[in-house]
Structure 1
Amino acid sequence: MNPPTSIKVIGIGPGGSDQVTHAAVAALNEVDVFLVADKGEVKSDLVTLRREICERWIDGDYRLIEVPDPERGPDAERNTTEYQAGVAGWHRARTEGYRELIAADPELTYGFLVWGDPAFYDSTLRIVDALAELMPIDSEVIPGISSIQLLAARHRVPLNRVGQPIHITTGRRLVEDFRDDLGDIVVMLDGHLACRELVGRGLEIFWGAYLGDPREVLVRGPLDDVIEELIDTRARLRDRHGWVMDTYLLRPQP
């Protein structure tokens, strides 16, 4: 029986090559082939940034294969059931594409480069689990610095108030789940700034886009006062770069 294929899921930080940990560097140098999702021309610089990290931190030979990413569909227009079904179909298509590549050379070590940390709203670990149902896999996860951590560092604040909880959610769930007793709220994957619907609730926002990247932009202040600036800033950045990766913290104003 052939030994299982080795897969390393490596958290590479929010985007800057100086955010890569020593453990991640060691893992990078153990990989033969990196499988990177190609999401089209608009997000081609995400592939470029991954290449730059490899070039900076890897001493030996390796290959980086761009795998065309399946169409996911219009998430914003779907209800929860449709959204979950769409994501499940997208995962299946991704899994099959990676399976075909790995099956061609199963004796190699494969790597997935994950923005931030693989534990936060990322599909890679689910896809590796799905691969393990189809073929023998031996996987290892190397955590990375998350955008959540870097957001707090950039604004020089703790994520929680004294003795209070932290709630981590998505823009899709923010308004539906919002309660005054949730504690401090970290919001990810919010393409439409759902926080605009919470104006008038006495909240302060700490927002950051392209964290760890030279394009980094920060905004903080009472949500009621800065929401229009945020809406304009996010739209301008999206027009300029073709995509925005942002995270924010909401908390009651002191």
Structure 2
Amino acid sequence: MKRLSVIGIGAGDPDHLTMQAVKALNQVDVFFLMDKGPGKDALLDLRRDICRRYITDRTYRFVEAGSPERQREDLDYTASVEALNRAKQATFERLINEQLSDGQRGGFLVWGDPSLYDSTLRILQAILDSGRCVFEFDVVPGITSVQALAARHKVPLNSIGGSLEITTGRRLAAGRVGDAASTVVMLDAEDAYRQVSDPDTQIYWGAYVGMADELLIAGRLGDVADDIERTRKAARQANGWIMDTYLLRKP
């Protein structure tokens, strides 16, 4: 039987790995790495570095494959993500069939935690449901950018007795959020915090949290929104991509 481990590797700091994740790494024979292009080389390099740091007395290998890109033209968001996941499913299925032998364990190293804004678990289940590939898999949780952000700003995520919502920049920009006292926003490509009407809202913002080029800004939204926008723009121009998360707290 082929086996897979989906391992949460944290938000960018190799020290984010749990002991459970380290144990899982040391059971993997083949690591599948999805290459998202030259601008994201640092994400692959971190995965290789994690393996070098934590795997002892075990032979393993990496198998790389190009990661399909989401088509943004002429498709609504849900349809484009579903199409992307179908393309990823075909890639994952090929890798498992061609690169993993019976009795071996493959590993997917997932940024943050596999349960939060990542489709690896959905894709693997879809492969099993198709019946074209047979394997067992387990999941190892990891530290997310949400947890890392709160730790770096030294704040709790929720207010006392208050609710917490985790959403995307797309939904915030469209006004599709609830009335939670605290809101965590991920995957924001549009400076969606600009849509928050109350300037007294507190924002705790971070980019590349846990990585060497980490950026942090906190304060009253009316005071720091321009600073955040300038910092985001400069970071995107310098790195070619940005990975940020922020917490909004109602006054």
For Structure 1 versus Structure 2, the TM-score category normalised by the shorter chain is over 0.9
Q: CA deviation at 1:88?
A: 0.9
Aligned-residue RMSD, C-alpha: 1.4
Q: Which residue of structure 2 aligns with residue 227 of structure 1? A: 225
The one-character-per-residue Cα deviations of 1:221-241 (angstroms, maximum 9, x if unpaired) are: 011111110010011111111
Q: Which residue of structure 2 aligns with residue 100 of structure 1? A: 94
Q: Which residue of structure 1 aligns with residue 180 of structure 2? A: 182
Q: CA deviation at 1:122?
A: 0.7
Q: Aligned to 1:218, what secondary structure does the other structure show?
A: strand
Match of 1:109 among 105, 109, 113: 105
Q: In the superposition, relative to structure 1, how do residues 78 and 231 fare at CA in structure 2: closer, same or farther (>3 Å)?
A: farther
The one-character-per-residue Cα deviations of 1:176-205 (angstroms, maximum 9, x if unpaired) are: 2235x3220000111222011114353110
Q: Distance in 2 between matches of 1:232 and 1:156?
A: 24
Q: Which residue of structure 2 aligns with residue 47 of structure 1? A: 44
Q: CA deviation at 1:78?
A: 6.7
Q: Which residue of structure 1 aligns with residue 116 of structure 2? A: 120
**How many residue pairs end up in the alignment?**
245
Q: Distance in 2 between matches of 1:186 and 1:106?
A: 41
Within 5 A, what are the aligned runs for 1:154-233? 154-175=152-173, 176-179=175-178, 181-233=179-231
> Which amino acid is the alignment partner of residue 67 of structure 1?
A
Structure 1 window deviating more from structure 2 (192-201 vs 108-117): it is 192-201
Q: Which residue of structure 2 aligns with residue 24 of structure 1? A: 21
**Is the Cα contact below 8 Å between 1:131 and 1:137 reproduced in 2?**
no
Q: Distance in 1 between matches of 2:138 and 2:182?
A: 32
> Which amino acid is the alignment partner of residue 39 of structure 1?
K
Q: Aligned to 2:233, what secondary structure does the other structure show?
A: helix
- 2:129 is aligned with 1:135: no
Q: Distance in 2 between matches of 1:25 and 1:164?
A: 35
> Which amino acid is the alignment partner of residue 98 of structure 1?
F
Q: In the superposition, relative to structure 1, how do residues 200 and 165 fare at CA in structure 2: closer, same or farther (>3 Å)?
A: closer
Match of 2:82 among 66, 83, 88: 88
Q: CA deviation at 1:29?
A: 0.7
> Which amino acid is the alignment partner of residue 123 of structure 1?
S
The one-character-per-residue Cα deviations of 1:151-195 (angstroms, maximum 9, x if unpaired) are: 11111110001011100000011142235x322000011122201
Q: CA deviation at 1:71?
A: 2.4
Q: CA deviation at 1:61?
A: 1.3
Q: Aligned to 1:232, what secondary structure does the other structure show?
A: helix
Q: Distance in 2 between matches of 1:34 and 1:131?
A: 18
Q: Distance in 2 between matches of 1:211 and 1:248?
A: 10
> Which amino acid is the alignment partner of residue 238 of structure 1?
R
Q: Aligned to 2:206, what secondary structure does the other structure show?
A: strand
Identity %: 47
Q: Distance in 2 between matches of 1:156 and 1:38?
A: 34
Q: Which residue of structure 1 aligns with residue 70 of structure 2? A: 72
- 2:34 is aligned with 1:37: yes
Q: Aligned to 2:152, what secondary structure does the other structure show?
A: helix
Question: What is the TM-score of this pair, normalised by structure 1?
Answer: 0.92
Q: Distance in 2 between matches of 1:19 and 1:12?
A: 7
Q: In the superposition, relative to structure 1, how do residues 163 and 78 fare at CA in structure 2: closer, same or farther (>3 Å)?
A: farther
**Is the Cα contact below 8 Å between 1:11 and 1:142 reproduced in 2?**
yes
Match of 1:58 among 39, 55, 58: 55
Question: What is the TM-score of this pair, normalised by structure 2?
Answer: 0.93
Q: Distance in 2 between matches of 1:23 and 1:245?
A: 26
Q: Aligned to 1:182, what secondary structure does the other structure show?
A: coil
Q: Distance in 2 between matches of 1:205 and 1:99?
A: 41
Match of 2:4 among 4, 7, 13: 7
**Is the Cα contact below 8 Å between 2:172 and 2:195 reproduced in 1?**
no
**Is the Cα contact below 8 Å between 1:207 and 1:219 reproduced in 2?**
yes
Q: Aligned to 2:136, what secondary structure does the other structure show?
A: strand
Q: Distance in 2 between matches of 1:111 and 1:131?
A: 16
